[in-house]
Amino acid sequence: MAKATKSSTIEATADEDGRIEYRVTETAPSRVACQRVQAGDTIRLTEDQARAELIALHIEPVSNAASEGGSNDI
């Protein structure tokens, strides 16, 4: 059985690089995942890089942060 060949053109986009955008929280120290940050900064991390920081509540996914600050429908 012949193996399928992969395309020779590789285009790494933000969605395909395996990183997710996170927002740094107020409780975060000055370094998150070995990067200097301030509260409110956004950083892109892999799931492995982000795991401990998420547990410590130093970061939150940008999609969650944006949805929490949305309108209050009653």
DSSP letter for each residue of 43-63 = EEE-HHHHHHHHHTTSEEEHH
Q: What does the pLDDT look like over 9-67, one tens digit per residue?
A: 434 344 678 999 999 999 999 999 999 999 999 999 999 999 999 999 999 999 865 66
pLDDT of residue 62: 93
For residue 71, pLDDT beyond 70: no
User: For the whole prediction, is pTM greater than 0.75?
Assistant: no
Closest to 33 measured CA to CA, from 55, 16, 66: 55
**Whole-number pLDDT of residue 6:** 55
The pLDDT, as a whole number, for residue 63 is 83
